Amino acid sequence: MKSLLLMLSSIGLLLLVLTSCASSEENASEKKEDQQLDKDQTSEQEKTNDEKSNNDSNSSDTKTPPKKKDSLQKIVDNMNINEKIAQMMFIGLEGTSLSKEEAELIRTEQVGGVILLGGNIQNKNQLLQYIQSIKKANKNSHTPLMLGVDEEGGRVSRIPDEIANFPSNQYIGKYANDSLSHRIGELLAQKVQAFGFNVDFAPVLDIHNNPQNRVIGDRSFGSTPEKVSKLGIGTMEGIQSEGVIPVVKHFPGHGNTTKDSHISLPQVDKPIVEIKQEELIPFKQAIDEGAEMVMVAHILYSALDQKYPATLSERIITDLLRNEMGFEGVVITDDMSMGAITQNYGMEEAAVLSIRAGTDMFMLTSSGDGNYDRVKKALKQAVKQGTIAEESLDKSVKRILTLKKKYKLSHEPPKGIDVSSLNQKIREVIDQLK
């Protein structure tokens, strides 16, 4: 019995030792695993920290510095409301020489541009002196003037008769030669540039698709979008090549009207599909080929805007011309002194509507008799009331200054003109049309 108890005791002691060893080994294993896990976590954290440090370092190295404002934007930012509005005004003058009042207006207001019409021009010497006096009045302005003239050729030619004139666009259109049109564009630019002009309100991109239309008529290159696009763009590029700003006109198209917008408001009732297949094609192609300035017409296109003519229509200027057709240049109105506007709107009301619609430059050939001051006052009030956002003025002025800079407009007076040489070049081209 005693031996049995001794044996059982020995077995129990052996089991206790074995259990203790197993427990110690298990604890040691668990401890080792915990230590390895801690080590792995520490290593992973260190790796993460290293990566973060490297990323931060790389981010610091490649961080883009704040974008600096360009010089033109700085000019715009430093302009007050009066100066911004003035840059957006393209004014006309009275008579054949610059009056003291007009010189003072140009000097103090620093308007964006001046246009001379047929009644302002008599002969070569008179025009040279006139342009010199205009530039002199503006010499202290922070930006040179746009000096514009209608020189299309044919019956719309303002340059003095001492310089030879081209046949009408309709006549040129018979030849359908875009290289010849490019050369004509070059010479149109040389004609206006010789007198100090830097803007030519040409070419006409209207399609003559209404035989009863006498306003456009032979000013158009033809009755198809293809011909008008081909020859109009050729002329436009020729003008550009000589450092003169061409203004394509009359958007969205003046060729299918019967009324004269100088007298009353024309209306076109074509469906949108037809407008896009005809009238808009030359303008769209010109935009794609680098048109930088577009004149908008006083025409009511009922399918595009039932209420406002193109010059006052946000749907046409902003939605169609800019957003849909992709035009990023300067938009200028046709003359706001024309009957289409004055018979239906007050000049001040028209100015506010037009600028709000997206116009960059407001043409006012009748700037005298207080008209300029009234328009300026109306626009200032509209900005103050929030009807026109000052930000939109900033964008317009930036576009205007960008175009002036690109074409290197200056305060320098015209250097004179070699009449004989220019006439010879023009006649050489005219001979090719016979």
- Give me the active site residues, please: 262, 334
For residue 300, report the phi and psi dihedrals to the nearest 5 degrees: -90, 110
**Full DSSP string of 143-171:** SPPEEEE-EEETTEE-S-TTS--PPPHHH
8 A C-beta contact, residue 363 and residue 327? no
Which has the closest alpha carbon to 84: 399, 312, 363, 374?
399
Return the DSSP state at 167. P
Pairing of strands 156-157, 151-153: antiparallel
Q: Which residue has the tokens 């260190």?
A: 46
In the numeric block, the tokens 């200027």 are attached to 317
Helix axes 347-357, 371-385, angle to 10 degrees: 50
Element at 146 (helix H, strand E): strand 146-149
Report the chain's terminal Cα–Cα distance, integer Å: 148
Helix 347-357, helix 390-406: angle, nearest 10: 80
Would you say 361 and 90 are in contact if contact means Cβ atoms under 8 Å apart?
yes
Contact 397, 84 (CB under 8 A): yes
Q: Are 129 and 95 in contact (CB under 8 A)?
A: no
Q: Report d(CA 95, CA 366) in Å as an integer.
A: 12
Q: How far apart are CA 50 and CA 55, in angstroms?
A: 8
Pairwise CA distance, residues 239 & 145, whole Å: 18
What are the structure tokens assigned to 103, written together?
């010189």
Helix (H, G, I), strand (E, B) or coil at 366: coil
* 146-149 and 89-92 strand pairing: unpaired
Under a CB-based contact definition with an 8 Å cutoff, are residues 278 and 207 in contact? yes
Residue 427, Cβ density class (10 Å: 0-12 exposed, 13-18 middle, ≥19 buried): exposed
Q: Which residues pair with 295 in a beta bridge?
A: 332
